[in-house]
Amino acid sequence: MNDIFTYMFPGLMMMWMIFIGQNLMADVYTESERKTLPRMLGTPVNLNQFLVSKIIRCVIVCLMAEGLLMLFTAVVFRVRWGNPFWLILVIVAANLSITGLLAVVYGLAKTKILADAITVVVGLLTAFLGGGMIPFDEMPFLMKAIGSWTFNRWSVQGLQAVMNARPLGEITIPVMKLLLFGFVTTGLGMYWMRRRFQAGRLS
């Protein structure tokens, strides 16, 4: 069972991180609804700082959640997660890409409810295509081809490379992809969210 668990769990973990991150990212709009955001903006805090703080918080909380999951699975299911340094590097990069994706969704969606719905669809779809629900190697060619371009797949590749103590090249390539994806999407997401807040579209 341990082998299957080791094979499937990283993908599942990444899928659920999207849903955990979703609650955290939605907090941007909850602050606005509860009128705490305008009060905060009345202080020396500006909108950029507020958004960056939310993104950092999302990365940190996901990191803590993943840490708890890894600890639990290592103790209970005897999953060997590999070198902690590389592991932290991979999951930080993965969390950045999750946060970036969520920032884009919450920045572009017209309402918070729509953003929540899109996140569920995106989360499930990327997890499915990225091998978080069914073994990636057993998927048809077309699905594999699409799945290879999902952040979920890169995260799983990175995590499994660390778990199997693969050469550094096999770890750094998915990490670079995740970081690039994460920085680009975070930048875009922040830009779109800022535009929304500045335009007063806060529903």
Partner 1 sequence: MNTIWILVKKDLLRDLKRPWGLLVLLCIPVITGWFMALAFGGGEGSESAVVIHVAVLDQDGNFIGGMMRSLGSQGDAQRNLQIHPVKTVEEGIRLLERRKASAFLVLPENLTNDLIVGVTASVQLYKNPAEAMLPKVVEQGTSLLAVGISEFMDLLGPQVKEVVDLLESGTAPSNWLLAMRFYQGLQKLDTVRDYVFPPLIRFETVAANEYIPSASRIASGTGGAS
Interface with partner 1 by CB under 8 A: which residues?
1-5, 8-9, 12-13, 15-16, 19-20, 23, 27, 40, 44-45, 49-50, 52-54, 56-57, 60-61, 65, 68-69, 72-73, 77
Specify the residue, 15 or 105, whose C-beta has the smaller distance to partner 1.
15
CA geometry: angle 127, 70, 85, nearest 5 deg: 100
**Nearest distance in Å: CB 2, partner 1:** 8
Q: Three-state DSSP class for 174?
A: helix
Fill in the amino acid letter for 40. M
Q: Please, what is the minimum distance in Å from the beta carbon of residue 181 to partner 1?
A: 22
CB of 20 or CB of 180, closer to partner 1: 20
CB of 121 to partner 1, least distance (A): 18
Q: Length of the chain, please?
A: 203
Are the C-beta atoms of residues 9 and 182 closer than 8 Å to each other? no
Shortest distance, position 49 Cβ to partner 1, whole Å: 5
If the CB atoms of residues 110 and 187 are measured against partner 1, the closer one turns out to be 187
One-letter amino acid for residue 101 of the chain: L
Q: Which is nearer to partner 1, 14 or 162 (CB)?
A: 14
Ramachandran assignment for 43, one of left (phi > 0), alpha (psi -120 to 50 degrees), beta (any other) = beta
The full DSSP string for 49-98 is HHHHHHHHHHHHHHHHHHHHHHHHHHHHS------HHHHHHHHHHHHHHH
Q: Which CB atom, from 60 or from 168, has the smaller least distance to partner 1?
A: 60
Half-sphere exposure of 201 (CA within 13 A, CB side): 13
Give min distance, CB of 42 to partner 1, in A: 14
Q: Could you identify the residue written with the tokens 């975070």?
A: 186
Nearer to partner 1, 1 or 199 (CB): 1
Tell me which DSSP letter residue 124 carries. Answer: H
Shortest separation between residue 203's beta carbon and partner 1, angstroms = 22
